[in-house]
Amino acid sequence: MHSNISPNLEASKEKLSQIIRYLFSGGIGFLTNIGLLALFLVAFKLFYPIAVTLSFSLSVVVGFLLQKYFTFRDSRQEGSLLGKQFSAFVAVSLGNIALNTFFVTVMVESIGVSPFYAAAFSSGIIALWSFAAYRILVFRL
């Protein structure tokens, strides 16, 4: 019986470790997005739609690299696989924007929740969805 518990415990520890790496990577992606946005707006004085697009685009690349190599420890390097994974990652990221906009709009317009609280709640839901999507669809672990 002890031999069955130990592998289960190790698997649980690895799953928890992966979730912590996922949250850390997401936080770095968020900070990259906000930091670059500030840089583009303040230092380069770019028009905000351009600044938002650039900062988001670059943070998606950072997020992909962190999620692939750090969170999910996927070291496969085949060119076609990388392209497919990156495309799937971008699709999930764009889906996240759509979901976030939908959830926030519904909560603000329908039930009067503050946009800040709505965005925080929405981010939690999207983080759960994204973890599953990255794990099952993008990096297929």
Mean pLDDT in residue range 44-73: 95
Backbone φ/ψ region at 46: left (φ over 0), alpha (ψ -120 to 50), beta: beta
Domain range spanning residue 128? 2-138
Number of domains the chain is built from: 1
What is the dihedral sign for C-alpha 14, 18, 24, 25? Answer: positive
Distance CA 110, CA 118 (A): 11
Is the pLDDT at 134 greater than 70, yes or no? yes
Distance CA 36, CA 32 (A): 6
The pLDDT tens digits of the residues spanning 78-112 come to 889 999 999 999 999 999 999 999 999 999 999 99
- Model's pTM, two decimal places? 0.85
Q: What tokens were used for 102?
A: 């939908």
Give one DSSP letter per residue of 38-63, joined into a string.
HIIIIIS---HHHHHHHHHHHHHHHH
